[in-house]
Amino acid sequence: MRFFLFSLTFMLMAATITAQERPMPEKVYAHLDRNCYAAGETIWLKGYVEDAKASGGTSRFLYAELLDAEGKTVLRSKIRQGRDGFAGYLELPDSLKTGNYLFRAYTRWQLNWPEHTLFHTPIRLVGMDGLMPDSPHTDDALDISFYPEGGRYFAGEPASIGFKAMDAGGKGVTLSGRVVEDNGAEVTQGRTLHDGMGLLTFTPAQGHHYRFLPNDGSAAWNLPEPSTDGATLQIRRIGQQLIVKVINHSGNPCTLWICAGGHNEKAGEVAGTSQSFRIQMQDLAEGLQKFLLTDPAGNILSERAVFRESERTDAVALTVQSEGDSYAPRTLRRVRLKLPAGIDSGDVSVSVVRSAFRPYQQEGGLAAYMQLGSELRGHIENPDYYFNPTVPEKERHNALDLLLMIQGWSYYDFVPKAPMARELTQTLTGEVRGFTQRTPRSYLLSIMAPALNYSEVAEVSRGGRFVIDSLDFRDSTVFVLNVTRDGTLQHYTPRILPDPVAQETGPWAGSWPFGGLRLDPTQAETPVFTDVFFQRDSIQALVIQADYVRIKSPFGSTPRLGAKTRDQLGPYDNMNLLDYVLLMKPNFERVDQDGETIVRAKTSYEYFGDIALCVNGIRYTWDLGQTIMVGDIEKLSITTRNSDAFLLKADGVVLVELSGPGQRSLEDQGNTRVFTPLGWQTPRDFYNPRYDRTHPWVPDRRNTIYWNPSLGLWGRHTNSFSFYTDDQPDGPYFLRVEGRAADGRWISTSQVLE
């Protein structure tokens, strides 16, 4: 046990982001067994957390939440990394109403970045009325957004403008059209190439305005106006080369950077108005990276994302075999999974659901999200398409490049304002304040968590903030805090500050992801690439390292010598505790001092002569003793000249344990408060019946047939798992497997089990 106090002064430390390093959020993905549930069911989930810099260390706690259509959190759970990784669940109350909900998962480290960097997936919930939720969009309105490559385009320079055509539900729309000048002359034609995305290329003339006219006769759409200053990037892939063109009208020299995984490498300097660079694809890092163009002050002028494919970016292709005679009720089925040659092992989460729930699966697997979805803004339609080896390579490359041009805007938001540390251990932060918000001086802070066998008393010379660090507590763990000063209350109140939480999303049903997140290509402020400020906790703090066990109660594991039991206390049940103590101890006396009741020995001892009252392990004032009836007491002991470190500065102690009707909340008594902070979720196993054994005939109406958050796979072996069908003849079932191989590659497989 290390116990210490320290002072911090207000500090604001500026951390300069060098050309080599850049703070990055963690990537979080959650594999849910499905995304349609009935109220009263359980959402089974497995979280995957990856350090975006691939430096090895990640947070050890994951937050899982369910938000309603107004963006309000209706369920929240904290999942600790354990033997099965971040395996958890959300129990859906019967009271939840039919509707569309949003599941969200994140680590505390991710809260340094904007909302869109957290993991989200929609949930459809059927309430007690039994009705399916309606789609949030019923009309067929068309929405077209335009995204100049690199953020802007200039008159007199060849321009590339990506566009995205969506219906009211956020789905891509197939259309074609033409671009016309303000005088009606046609300058180019364009059409969608994939999922409502298309590309317009032309050279705008000085002083002209441009519109896009869909060929279906719908309303015209204005294109963004050409820029008059700044700079932009245009990138084309020719074979295994990238041609990076810089168009600079800023009037200052520019620097081209290649940014991947938080590491930034300078690619070149641009002194004039236009310059091109040739970069070999093999010289780039695997996966997604950004080209950034900055001015001499570090301000980002332009951004463009590219993706380098390789064998390591492809999802591992599992071989799946399903065995079983039929899908008749309560019959055994076995599924065999085999890794491809060259991969030694892997660990995966596995879900099997009824055929009826096949349409209600997450859009996009682990491989596509970690490599693409976590890096881009907005909802990506059918993300697995870009990693599907059955799609022709050139077709995939073109579609992916178009997607990156349109939805690759992220660095403008990825500059943390006040980063908090990764959550490796549980920490409770609290403060002590007076009624006038004054910071107390020279007080005793008593902290107790009976379920943890943990208690501590700290004597604080000055300071209102305290931290309880290195804890390990489950959800529903009760903490009791008490503050005294020289044996009196002094009207100071302790409280535990709430955990940091993600911001509310606001009404999301119209924009995420059913409607597709609308992207705004304009930026109100130009961000600074080089300077990031880090805010540190600067309030005077008490830090307690809670890495040991003390006492559960003042009585210990056995009754304290001389303790009065319930039978002995019975004749005095109608007397309050204070009167009983004065009756039993004639050498004690009651003193009213500064409006507070004190009990002390008539003969002064070497300390202060005060008698302390300790109820259920926590010290209280004797004002509480006048409200507790002896009939509520299970055990009582009166001792003198006690030296228990928990009680401090007392020449006598009255120890009380309440039971039965007396086990009431004490948080409103004196300077004591009771808190139940969010602890980590107690693990639970999925119900997987075995009908080959004696089993009571109870209805089996499982919708998720099999769930395993951690199934080990071994190379050169056929790995298998088995399950029994339910009472509903609803086959074939649908399998999803998500995880990671030992070589770092992602595993992501979905298949109908014929």
What fold characterizes domain 566-668? Answer: Ferric Hydroxamate Uptake Protein; Chain A, domain 1 (2.170.130)
The per-residue pLDDT for range 684-694, each reduced to its tens digit, is 999 888 888 76
111-120, 435-444, 571-580: range with lowest mean pLDDT: 435-444
For the chain, the structural domain boundaries read 143-308, 566-668
Give the per-residue pLDDT at 203: 96
Consecutive H or E run containing 441: strand 441-449
Two tokens at 300?
């980002």
| Average pLDDT rounded to a whole number, residues 346-359 | 94
For 694, counting Cβ atoms within 10 Å of its Cβ (0-12 exposed, 13-18 middle, 19+ buried), the class is exposed
- HEC sequence for 231-282: EEEEEEEECCEEEEEEEEECCCCEEEEEEECCEEEEEEEECCCEEEEEEEHH
Give the per-residue pLDDT at 436: 57
- In whole angstroms, what is the distance from residue 194 CA to residue 485 CA? 70
CATH superfamily of domain region 143-308 = Immunoglobulins (2.60.40.10)
The per-residue pLDDT for range 369-415, each reduced to its tens digit, is 999 998 888 888 899 999 888 889 889 999 999 999 998 876 544 45
Give the per-residue pLDDT at 505: 73
Which residue type does 31 have? H
Higher pLDDT, 665 or 628: 628
| pLDDT band, very low/low/confident/very high, at 475 (cuts 50, 70, 90) | very high
The per-residue pLDDT for range 519-555, each reduced to its tens digit, is 333 333 333 333 332 222 223 345 544 433 333 344 4
Which residue type does 103 have? F
Please, which residues have CB within 8 angstroms of residue 722's CB and are 6 or more apart in sequence? 332, 333, 334, 335
Q: Are 111 and 498 in contact (CB under 8 A)?
A: no
> The whole model's pTM is what?
0.79
- In whole angstroms, what is the distance from residue 623 CA to residue 628 CA? 10
The backbone region for 640, taken as left when phi is positive above 0, alpha when psi lies in -120 to 50, beta otherwise, is beta
Higher pLDDT, 653 or 52: 653
